Amino acid sequence: MNTTENNTSTAQVHYFLVPSTMSSPMEHQEEIISTTTVQAATNEGFDYSKLIDQFGSEPVQQDLIERFEKLTGKKAHPFLKRGIFFSHRDLHKLLDHYENGKMFYLYTGRGPSSDSMHLGHLVPFMFTKYLQDAFQVPLVIQLTDDEKHLMQELDFQQVRNMMIENVKDIIACGFDMRKTFIFSNFDYMGYLYKTVVQIEKCVTTSQVKGVFGFNDSDNIGKMSFPAIQAAPSFYTSFPHIFSVQQDAFQNLESTMKENNGKNMDSIMCLIPCAIDQDPYFRLTRDVAPKLGFPKPVLVHGKFLPSLQGAKTKMASSDKNSAIFLTDSNAVIASKVAGSFSGGGASKELHEKFGANLKVDVPFKLLEFFLEDDQQLEQVREEYSKGIMLTSQIKKLAFEVVSKLVKEHQERRARITEEELKEFMSVRKLDF
Ligand code: TYM
């Protein structure tokens, strides 16, 4: 057991969980990561190893990557090898479980707050696709239309439209339809509700206020929402997938008593997401043993930075910060050309001192999306020495990103209404 984990009961308020109402970007020199605000101290972005200490998670290390390769017989995803998925909670335990022939499923999600997803959103979904292909396991994807209605005051019809558009972006990532269930909270709540209520019963208002920074003027929907994002971490939320019996909840209560609240050795859940979602799942992990469930396992991704610099993440709330999956080639070209550069102020200075890769956004785009490891290393070497020019790296970043977006758009255009319905229908999965 990881004794250093900052759970919600022992560490309720963290400086990195400052609520948006308290965090004017101009006032803070420190790092803030909450579910509403992401801000690093400098344009170099976050000190992710410091975050691991503060969050009490564990680093993804070489031995873990080798275990992935050994167990799946597949090469590790570049996101693992390049440290983009950099932190985890209990991944070794999950791999032990898998190695012993036991069952796990994947769970991830999206809060539909814009018509189109952006490149940053793509990161956890690309990684989730790799995990599904590698382990051949079922996947559930939650669309939190309720969250966006409660938190951002978008009306029902707006969030519904955005949700459908976002589902198309998600399907275009290439998930296996036979193993994937995508659901809108508004549509699926009847099935989720029993699990949600079990969770709500275990979490106090002061815990939620401490973790998410809500105050007494916030609507009560915000207060209970964390239980709704937590629920899919437990298999009882999906009776049609995991054949949960009618009396599962009665059994849960008696199992809880028998086990004295200890983890049941049952179906485990692995959640890939960027680190901003961790507060939800720290809370979930606190609750799990009280309900007799295994704690959900987490693997955390780094943020794809804003085009204006790595001090903030690429976010749909700031249109200029992001390359959207609906952007045209011309728009992508102009966004990449205008993105924050770590190159020298003049050609002479650049050739003399090289580029600062720590702040260079085009280079970060390549770190995330250039598939060829060798080419990436060559760019790293030549650009940092000033041999490669800023215009050249921007051109390469444009080529890589525009190819990725174009292919995504082509797959998206081929999705039929029937496929969309099938992905979202309550049904058995094939695994
Ligand atoms: P949302 O819609 O804000 O983000 C969807 C997913 O994308 C990640 N993400 C990023 N990753 C890399 N770089 C970025 N710039 C970037 N911006 C966002 C998020 O961490 C997330 O993984 N409440 C959630 C929806 C949700 C969910 C989940 C997410 C429900 N259940 C389970 C992950 C796992 C939300 O609004 O995500």
User: Does the Cβ of 273 fall within 6 Å of ligand 1?
Assistant: yes
User: Does the Cβ of 108 fall within 6 Å of ligand 1?
Assistant: yes
- Residue 31 banded pLDDT, cuts 50, 70, 90: confident
Give the pLDDT confidence of 341-367 residue by residue, as tens digits: 999 999 999 999 999 999 999 999 999
pLDDT at residue 10 in the model: 32
Measure 145 CA to ligand 1 centroid, in angstroms: 13
Look-up of token digits 């525009």: 402
pLDDT at residue 12 in the model: 30
- Residue 376 banded pLDDT, cuts 50, 70, 90: very high
- pLDDT, mean of residues 39-47: 87
Query: What beta strand segments (E) does 53-184 contain?
Result: 58-59, 85-89, 104-110, 139-143, 180-184
Give the pLDDT confidence of 245-274 residue by residue, as tens digits: 545 555 555 555 454 444 445 799 999 999
Closest residue by CA, ligand 1 atom 7: 121
pLDDT at residue 166 in the model: 98
DSSP alpha helix (H) spans, 203-294: 205-212, 220-230, 239-242, 248-258, 278-291
Closest atom of ligand 1 to 314 CA is: 15
The answer to which of 32-46, 286-300, 349-363 has the lowest mean pLDDT is 32-46
pLDDT at residue 392 in the model: 97
Taking the CA atoms of residue 164, residue 168, residue 169 and residue 174 in that order, the dihedral angle to the nearest 10 degrees is 150
pLDDT at residue 37 in the model: 83
pLDDT at residue 154 in the model: 86
pLDDT at residue 245 in the model: 57
Measure 391 CA to ligand 1 centroid, in angstroms: 32
pLDDT at residue 28 in the model: 42
pLDDT at residue 42 in the model: 86
pLDDT at residue 182 in the model: 98
Q: Which residue has better confidence, 205 or 5?
A: 205
The answer to which of 43-52, 72-81, 393-402 has the lowest mean pLDDT is 43-52
User: Does the Cβ of 123 fall within 6 Å of ligand 1?
Assistant: yes
Beta bridge partners of 270: 106, 297
The first and second tokens of residue 75, run together, are 């090469």
Closest residue by CA, ligand 1 atom 30: 109
User: Does the Cβ of 278 fall within 6 Å of ligand 1?
Assistant: no
pLDDT at residue 3 in the model: 38
The first and second tokens of residue 33, run together, are 């990561």
Do residues 281 and 296 make contact, with C-beta atoms less than 8 angstroms apart?
A: yes
pLDDT at residue 254 in the model: 56
Give the pLDDT confidence of 315-337 residue by residue, as tens digits: 998 889 999 999 999 999 999 99
User: Does the Cβ of 298 fall within 6 Å of ligand 1?
Assistant: no
Closest residue by CA, ligand 1 atom 14: 120
Taking the CA atoms of residue 50, residue 132, residue 294 and residue 226 in that order, the dihedral angle to the nearest 10 degrees is 70
The first and second tokens of residue 12, run together, are 């309720």
Give the pLDDT confidence of 193-244 residue by residue, as tens digits: 999 999 999 999 999 999 999 999 999 999 999 999 999 999 999 999 987 6
Measure 274 CA to ligand 1 centroid, in angstroms: 6
Beta pairing class for 139-143 and 104-110 = parallel
Q: What is the mean pLDDT of the chain?
A: 89
pLDDT at residue 13 in the model: 29
pLDDT at residue 414 in the model: 98
User: Does the Cβ of 142 fall within 6 Å of ligand 1?
Assistant: yes
- Residue 9 banded pLDDT, cuts 50, 70, 90: very low
- Helix (H) / strand (E) element for 33: namely strand 32-33
Angle between helices 278-291 and 205-212 (to 10 degrees): 150
pLDDT at residue 36 in the model: 80
Beta pairing class for 85-89 and 104-110 = unpaired
pLDDT at residue 33 in the model: 81
User: Does the Cβ of 110 fall within 6 Å of ligand 1?
Assistant: yes
Rg of the chain over all Cα atoms, to the nearest angstrom: 22
Measure 111 CA to ligand 1 centroid, in angstroms: 7
- Distance between CA atoms of 201 and 115, rounded to whole angstroms? 35
Taking the CA atoms of residue 240, residue 241, residue 243 and residue 246 in that order, the dihedral angle to the nearest 10 degrees is -40
Q: Which residue has better confidence, 153 or 47?
A: 47
pLDDT at residue 263 in the model: 43
User: Does the Cβ of 286 fall within 6 Å of ligand 1?
Assistant: no
Most distant CA atoms of the chain, gap in Å: 74
Measure 122 CA to ligand 1 centroid, in angstroms: 9
The answer to which of 28-32, 81-85, 96-100, 247-251 has the lowest mean pLDDT is 247-251
- Residue 173 banded pLDDT, cuts 50, 70, 90: very high
- Distance between CA atoms of 262 and 258, rounded to whole angstroms? 9
The answer to which of 18-32, 121-135, 247-261 has the lowest mean pLDDT is 18-32
The alpha carbon of 252 is separated from its chain's Cα centroid by a whole number of angstroms, namely 29
